[in-house]
């Protein structure tokens, strides 16, 4: 057992950290200005493009994509940066310091990362050429259309969207929402989950299909907000209606009935990324709190001298250290024994990290007083993001029950 | 000891409940439409005016204002509805079901209520005629300018705004923020706290002065948001600069040095109102959860059959029942022995209620899934409101330490 | 609504409080000495008899027993002190300050109180004469035999003890445990629940029968401890085997099939008593903490000046005030609308009070350091008692699920 | 970074696990019988001696003692098993499954381990020969006398025990308590902390001296209990008076004024051991819960099917996995960069592990119902042990404040 990062990780995180502090954090107010100047507009602002150009020039690009075989397959991707999940995890954490800018700057932002992984592992050469390469180039963006407004979509058997075979085509009908990023006009690709075989075995009913955003019958109905945030620069969260949308049969990702398995494959690395970013967000909050507590006074002394502030930062530090190790071990398990064997840990971090980060952010807001819940500090928006994570990929309780069931079956 | 409400309360809450369900709740989507139709505009929309007219016609108007003497004074107000704090508490709870519409519909919305109480208890006849009567008529609105961006304002000794006497005038200089409601063009009155005697005894340095919003030197700099919400219809939260603003000396509220005491007097009833409204908000959330849990299914049955949902609603119910009693007892203590003797209870509810309501809302959002954190349900905005309460009138921790200190001094 | 206690309560609690401070608390070290001097012995020590004589002389005797009709019956008891549940509640709280001495001093200790209530409400005149009068005189003690080691007894349908009719007798076979008090040689009466009709409707299978402790076939197998405490002076917690124990049919309490209903009737007042006593225990702990915090120093000042101690006592105070009101309201509901209508509140206090008191005691132990978990302070033993309450009358979770189910059925 | 244990750890834990399951767990009821047969006796029962002989024969002996230099010194011990803290940690966890038998079986029980470490690192050859060798042979036992009843001993500046130089002797006067193990007649050595220089710098006032238990003036006053448990087989917790106890000056451990530093050096490994054992205890509890939940039914199905039981075991599993990693990393830091650099982590585990284990045990007791808090299951006694850990080596809050202060000083 060895808790020291390897040389690749040390070197890479050093470069990413420098980029973060020199380029990304100073760009945050620039983004705010550009957003204020273009109130009605959806999608990335110029500052994002500049950061992407710089990151790409420095070789800090597409780091999320492992250069290996997908779990359960033997197809190796040729396009990745070649990092293990464990190595990439520490990079992902750093991008969490600036969740609106850093992930996209490195072309490592969800949901594109998950979609690119699917294409890398399950896509045909034609699909990869058509969709994956532009995504890896950041020429286009993408969205993942899984959740539906009318059913509890964490139960995949309840999905109502239909994907019917009709000659050489598939015809898609249904309503999806919380398709993150889909308000962005650059989001050319929609990865859509639906049922090709509603009467098949529970986990073989679903398939996944690639749909161009401008296909006839696709209607982006409206944006949804999270707390009061519309995530306009990222591309928001869209409700989309698919009204007999017709795509060629070659747009199927994997085989018919593979939809559930593909979605599951997407979740493993996705949770590592989400959780590590969330921990980075919490580290940013803690750094802000330290600065505030040293410089702000009340009732006769700096906040840093108040017992309750000390307790809060101590509790936050303890939670962060323990949970980071759990996420890193999960990444290591995925690298060494595979997603399936890491299932307990993957569920554990999905449950434990977002709520801990929510707590840490809640305490941080309290230290900042009214400023903490306003837009003058990034805390409230970060809180909304952490809160949303407790619902993303299914509410925590589904995973908690599943983890408990598995634990109770252990000998 | 008797836990049954008196006849006045029973009758009044019956009428208010009916108004709530027949008039206010159906008006919520109307407000949304009117807001969507006038995106750039600050202040009440037409639906609010209609509700106010109806409420006034039914005699459900200004119920918050007690018809008695202020704590520590002998001046009786003639303008109030004559309810005790205990009687009004149950009305306030009902208005919390629709926090954006119900309080304002009955002209019982903060911060106007607190400002009207101050004017009723500490205002001169001229001040009352000039400011109180229009407020009681809802012809104007008001804001309370206490918090400052540059200092922890829960420590009143740190207030930096200066109120200098200059001949027959006071001259005010300083920067305030989170002046709730002040973006509303109807908010003609600003109640401003500042220091008239920075070298005086700690709690006699402050005075309170009435400032017309259009006085030269008053600049409303910008609106602040709370978790992404701008509270546009209510009047938002403003940052305001006072740059040598000159008002006649007769605009002083109470005497020089009374500022701290007046602010404290404002807090007692204010907390009853805030807390009871928050409990009503939680009741609304629980009602929404019940409906959702009965009609939404996952993994083989309605959510209402899931153990975790049952636990959540049970825990919520227990917290609500216990805390409601504590708020009602606090109101009763204020009515019978006065604010000073009720200090422990006032602090207790200020601490305990908002965080309990935050928890209840957090669970409710989880039951609703993605919808719960979106604008399709009122939960996320309600959550932001409850979260803000933990900072309003000073962060909870200040009160917790004070309550603990008092407890440790008990024999 | 009126939160002031009535004159009877005020007068009575004044007398009980005086007795507590003048007689009971000083007797605690005497009990310890008497226990140390007679290590192998089970049952009350002389100091208890002395306190009982004094209390009886002062008319502070059998206060628990209401002088009215049992829920669902019209039989009025003639033997009670005539207090309402609400009035008695405040007395019960005071006895919780000294849980090992005060309840028994006033002849108000569980499980005798519950057994006396059953006899008063459901007993025949002969049963009352034979068992109730000696119990009311404290000439004998009693135990309640419900829980079984082999099944989860909170589910009454799982009870395995059989009560078979045989001519003019009932014959009882089964194994019970945690029969509190049954190690006391004075415990002459065992109230035993078993099944007379195992195939009947779920809640009509059970009956309750009165068994003399010296009936042939009754074997007290062993004492059980709670944490490391054997509760020797009270009478411990016994495991008892009933091996074809034969009693006359007239020993049946109520009718055949009434067992479950009688057990339920026992629970309502029992929970008020348990919860109020637990709150009194917590008040005692808080009083000890105040004293300790003022007189003990560390790191440059008294513990009372440490932020964390202030927070703890503040949190404890808040919880106590809110929960006391909830228990009192429950008592009031039982007095005014009956146990059935008070079911939500009865379950709520059963769940909320013991765990809150456990938290409060846990914090108190922490303030006391090593002394807190030793026998030099009463805290650890009190903690064990509070912890046991979370299991008594069924684990909290059973009640939480039931309360949640009921809440979800509300319109 | 590599989360796989090394070959030494894997091999050793395999052997220890086998010994645990084949020898130690079956010996638990034997210990109970031997204790029941000799109620008045203090000290190890025969079954312990047998286990020790077996463990020693298998080479599973004194594994706790590292074969290297103490932190801050260059003296290498020759007597240890040569394990790193990281390697030993996993062994310590396994011994936590049977906290009363396993640690002592391997001669790895506190407080002897800490005392042996002190002697190995700071003892003179004569001290080592006289005390360390018999301890390593388990021919004698020892106690650590630090805590005093009259002061908050976590603040070492408050220690009142005096160690005065008098010619070639030291003369010790003071009162200590919670000297764990000192009731055991085999506890021949008392390691006593006191002040040699009460006016010296805060952390140089204290010295540590070795005192034979039969030295004139040593009086073992009484045993103390923890939650009703006297820990009789281990040697209990003693209050000891030192009344002008005279020992040769050569009994000083280290130099005058080293007492505080030596005590600190003792804590690092001690916390690793305590925490890992506590995690093992929690694993045992979880194993018991799994078994119970599968075999016990209520309300229509096994407990394993109840949502709340699933949640509990899931939450427990998550906490255990995260905290184990944090303890292991702490051990690794101590091995690689030393105790001083690992201070944050050492404090973090001291705070986080015992309370998590307390929670896990609390839930486990709840699953077991009344049996869980009785002596029929080991849970309640384990709970008492975990609870005591939150006070051992200073209450958690002292460490929390210190950790918070350090965090707030980070750049």
CATH topology of domain C142-256: Butyryl-CoA Dehydrogenase, subunit A; domain 2 (2.40.110)
Contact criterion met (CB < 8 Å) for B376 and A155 = no
**Secondary element (H or E) of residue D27:** helix D25-37
Q: Which residue, among A73, A83, A169, has the nearest Cα to A120 in the 3D structure?
A: A73
pLDDT at B298 over 50: yes
Q: How confident is the model at residue D393 (pLDDT cuts 50, 70, 90)?
A: confident
Q: How confident is the model at residue D80 (pLDDT cuts 50, 70, 90)?
A: confident
Cα of D39 to nearest chain A Cα, Å: 37
Would you tell me which CATH number, out of the four given (1.10.150.120, 1.10.287.130, 1.20.140.10, 3.40.47.10), belongs to the domain C260-409? 1.20.140.10
Contact criterion met (CB < 8 Å) for B227 and A178 = no
d(CA B21, CA B26): 7
Q: How confident is the model at residue B72 (pLDDT cuts 50, 70, 90)?
A: very low
* Closest residue, chain D, to B305 (C-alpha): D307
CATH code for D264-409? Answer: 1.20.140.10
Q: What pLDDT digit, counting tens, does each position of D105-122 carry?
A: 999 999 999 999 999 999
pLDDT at D68 over 60: no
Q: What pLDDT digit, counting tens, does each position of D183-225 carry?
A: 999 999 999 999 999 999 999 999 999 999 999 999 999 999 9
pLDDT value, residue A71? 43
Average pLDDT across chain B, whole number: 95
Rg over alpha carbons for chain D, rounded to the nearest Å, is 21
Chain-centroid distance of CA C158 in Å reads: 23
- The pTM (predicted TM-score) of the whole model is 0.96
pLDDT value, residue D266? 85
Residues of B in contact with D305 (CB under 8 A): none
Q: What is the mean pLDDT of residues D311-328?
A: 98
Alpha helix (H) ranges present in B72-199?
A: 85-95, 102-105, 112-122, 125-127, 133-136
d(CA C171, CA C192): 12
pLDDT value, residue B70? 46
Residue D251, token pair as written in the block: 């009994």
Q: Which residue, among C301, C305, C287, has the nearest Cα to C377 in the 3D structure?
A: C287
* Closest residue, chain B, to D307 (C-alpha): B307
Average pLDDT across chain D, whole number: 95
Distances (CA, A) of B120 to A371, B249, C147, C273: 32, 19, 63, 47
d(CA D331, CA D339): 9
d(CA A131, CA A123): 9
Q: What is the mean pLDDT of residues B149-169?
A: 95
Residue D229, token pair as written in the block: 């448990």
d(CA C183, CA C54): 25
**């039951």: which residue's tokens?**
B367
Q: How confident is the model at residue C266 (pLDDT cuts 50, 70, 90)?
A: confident
* Closest residue, chain C, to B323 (C-alpha): C322
Q: Which residue, among C1, C133, C15, has the nearest Cα to C65 in the 3D structure?
A: C133
Contact criterion met (CB < 8 Å) for A317 and D1 = no
Residue A244, token pair as written in the block: 């007999």
* Closest residue, chain D, to C177 (C-alpha): D370
The number of residues making up chain D comes to 411
Q: Within 13 Å and on the Cβ side, how many CA atoms surround D61?
A: 15
* Closest residue, chain C, to D379 (C-alpha): C227
pLDDT at B69 over 50: no
More confident residue, B269 or A247: A247
Q: What is the DSSP string of A230-294?
A: --TTTT-EEEEEEEEEEEEGGGEESSTT-HHHHHHHHHHHHHHHHHHHHHHHHHHHHHHHHHHHH
pLDDT at C69 over 50: no
pLDDT value, residue B78? 64
In this complex, the chains that touch B, judged by 3 or more CB pairs closer than 8 A, are A, C, D
Average pLDDT across chain C, whole number: 95
Is residue C161 a contact partner of residue C167, using CB atoms and an 8 Å limit?
no
Residues of D in contact with C362 (CB under 8 A): 387
pLDDT at B136 over 70: yes
Angle, helices B307-336 vs B259-295, to 10°: value is: 150
Q: What is the mean pLDDT of residues D234-245?
A: 97
Contact criterion met (CB < 8 Å) for D228 and C227 = yes
Which residue out of C2, C3, C87, C335 would a mutagenesis test of the B interface target, given it has the greatest number of B Cβ atoms within 10 Å?
C3
CATH code for A142-257? Answer: 2.40.110.10
Residue B97, token pair as written in the block: 């079901």
**């050093």: which residue's tokens?**
A14
Rg over alpha carbons for chain C, rounded to the nearest Å, is 21
The domains of chain D are located at 7-109, 142-257, 264-409
Q: What pLDDT digit, counting tens, does each position of B300-344 carry?
A: 999 999 999 999 999 999 999 999 999 999 999 999 999 889 999
Q: What is the mean pLDDT of residues B29-48?
A: 94
d(CA A235, CA A221): 14
Q: What pLDDT digit, counting tens, does each position of D56-67 carry?
A: 999 999 999 976
Which residue out of D300, D307, D311, D312 would a mutagenesis test of the B interface target, given it has the greatest number of B Cβ atoms within 10 Å?
D307
Residues of B in contact with A381 (CB under 8 A): 227-228
pLDDT value, residue B71? 43
CATH topology of domain D7-109: Butyryl-Coa Dehydrogenase, subunit A; domain 1 (1.10.540)
pLDDT value, residue D93? 98
Q: Which residue, among C406, C400, C85, C401, has the nearest Cα to C274 in the 3D structure?
A: C85
pLDDT value, residue A79? 76
pLDDT at C94 over 90: yes
Portion of chain B with pLDDT greater than 90, in percent: 91
Q: Which residues, 6 or more positions from D225, have their beta carbon under 8 angstroms from its beta carbon?
A: C228, C374, C375, D237
SS3 of residue D53 by DSSP = helix
Q: What is the mean pLDDT of residues B383-392?
A: 97
Q: Which residue, among B91, B101, B190, B212, has the nearest Cα to B142 in the 3D structure?
A: B190
Compare CB distances from D228 to C229, C296, C298 and report the shortest one's residue. Answer: C229
Contact criterion met (CB < 8 Å) for B401 and C307 = yes
Is residue C77 a contact partner of residue C25, using CB atoms and an 8 Å limit?
no
Cα of C374 to nearest chain A Cα, Å: 27
Q: Which residues partner with D170 through β-bridges?
A: D165, D247
Q: How confident is the model at residue C68 (pLDDT cuts 50, 70, 90)?
A: low
pLDDT value, residue C267? 83
In this complex, the chains that touch D, judged by 3 or more CB pairs closer than 8 A, are A, B, C
Q: How confident is the model at residue B77 (pLDDT cuts 50, 70, 90)?
A: low
Q: What is the mean pLDDT of residues B206-219?
A: 98
pLDDT value, residue B79? 77
How confident is the prediction along chain A (411 residues), in pLDDT tens digits per residue?
A: 999 999 999 999 999 999 999 999 999 999 999 999 998 899 999 999 999 999 999 999 999 997 654 444 455 556 778 899 999 999 999 999 999 999 999 999 999 999 999 999 999 999 999 999 999 999 999 999 999 999 998 899 999 999 999 999 999 999 999 999 999 999 999 999 999 999 999 999 999 999 999 999 999 999 999 999 999 999 999 999 999 999 999 999 999 999 999 998 888 889 999 999 999 999 999 999 999 999 999 999 999 999 999 999 999 999 999 999 999 999 999 999 998 899 999 999 999 999 999 999 999 999 999 999 999 999 999 999 999 999 998 999 999 999 999 999 998
Cα of A402 to nearest chain D Cα, Å: 8
pLDDT at B73 over 70: no
**């026998």: which residue's tokens?**
C375
Cα of A408 to nearest chain D Cα, Å: 5
d(CA C145, CA C239): 9
CATH topology of domain A263-409: Butyryl-CoA Dehydrogenase, subunit A; domain 3 (1.20.140)
d(CA D181, CA A207): 66
Q: What is the mean pLDDT of residues C117-141?
A: 96
d(CA B323, CA B339): 19
Is residue B362 a contact partner of residue B330, using CB atoms and an 8 Å limit?
no
**Residue D264: exposed, middle, or buried by beta-carbon count in 10 A (0-12, 13-18, 19+)?**
middle
Residues of A in contact with B225 (CB under 8 A): 228, 374-375
* Closest residue, chain D, to C312 (C-alpha): D397
Portion of chain D with pLDDT greater than 70, in percent: 97
Residue D113, token pair as written in the block: 């381990």
ipTM of the complex: 0.95
Q: What pLDDT digit, counting tens, does each position of C356-394 carry?
A: 999 999 999 999 999 999 999 999 999 999 999 999 989
In this complex, the chains that touch C, judged by 3 or more CB pairs closer than 8 A, are A, B, D
Q: What is the mean pLDDT of residues D151-167?
A: 94
pLDDT value, residue A268? 83
């Amino acid at each position: 057992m060895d808790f020291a990062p390897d040389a690749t990780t040390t070197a890479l995180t050093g470069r990413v950290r420098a980029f973060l502090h020199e380029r990304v954090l100073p760009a945050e107010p620039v983004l705010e200005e550009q957003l204020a100047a273009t109130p009605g507009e959806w999608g990335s602002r110029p500052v994002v493009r500049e950061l992407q150009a710089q990151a790409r020039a420095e070789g800090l690009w597409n780091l999320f994509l492992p250069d290996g075989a997908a779990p359960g397959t033997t197809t190796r991707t040729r396009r990745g940066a070649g990092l293990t999940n464990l190595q990439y995890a520490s990079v992902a954490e750093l991008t969490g310091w600036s969740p609106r800018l850093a992930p996209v700057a490195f072309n490592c932002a969800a949901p594109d990362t998950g979609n690119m992984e699917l294409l890398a592992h399950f896509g045909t050469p034609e699909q990869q050429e058509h969709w994956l390469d532009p995504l890896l180039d950041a020429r286009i963006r993408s969205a993942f259309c899984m959740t539906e407004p009318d059913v509890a979509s964490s139960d995949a058997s309840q999905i109502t969207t239909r994907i019917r075979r009709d000659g050489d085509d598939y015809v898609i009908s249904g309503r999806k929402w919380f398709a993150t990023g889909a308000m962005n006009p650059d989001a050319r690709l929609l990865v859509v989950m639906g049922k090709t075989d509603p009467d098949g075995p529970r986990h073989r009913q679903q398939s996944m299909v690639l749909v161009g955003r401008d296909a006839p019958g696709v209607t982006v109905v409206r944006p949804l907000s999270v707390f009061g945030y519309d995530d306009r620069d990222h591309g928001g969260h869209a409700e989309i209606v698919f009204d007999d949308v017709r795509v060629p049969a070659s747009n199927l990702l994997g085989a018919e009935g593979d939809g559930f398995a593909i979605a599951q494959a997407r979740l493993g690395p996705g949770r590592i990324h989400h959780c590590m970013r969330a921990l980075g967000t919490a580290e940013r909050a803690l750094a802000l709190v330290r600065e505030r507590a040293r410089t702000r006074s009340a009732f006769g002394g700096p906040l840093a001298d108040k017992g309750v502030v000390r307790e809060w930062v101590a509790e936050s530090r303890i939670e962060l250290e323990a949970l980071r190790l759990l996420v890193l071990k999960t990444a290591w398990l995925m690298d060494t024994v595979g997603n399936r064997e890491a299932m307990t840990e993957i569920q554990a971090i999905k449950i434990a990290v977002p709520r801990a980060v929510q707590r840490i952010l809640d305490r941080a807001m309290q230290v900042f007083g009214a400023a903490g819940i306003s837009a003058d500090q990034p805390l409230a928006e970060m809180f909304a993001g952490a809160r949303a994570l407790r619902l993303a990929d299914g509410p925590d309780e589904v995973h908690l029950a599943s983890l408990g069931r598995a634990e109770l079956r252990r000998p």
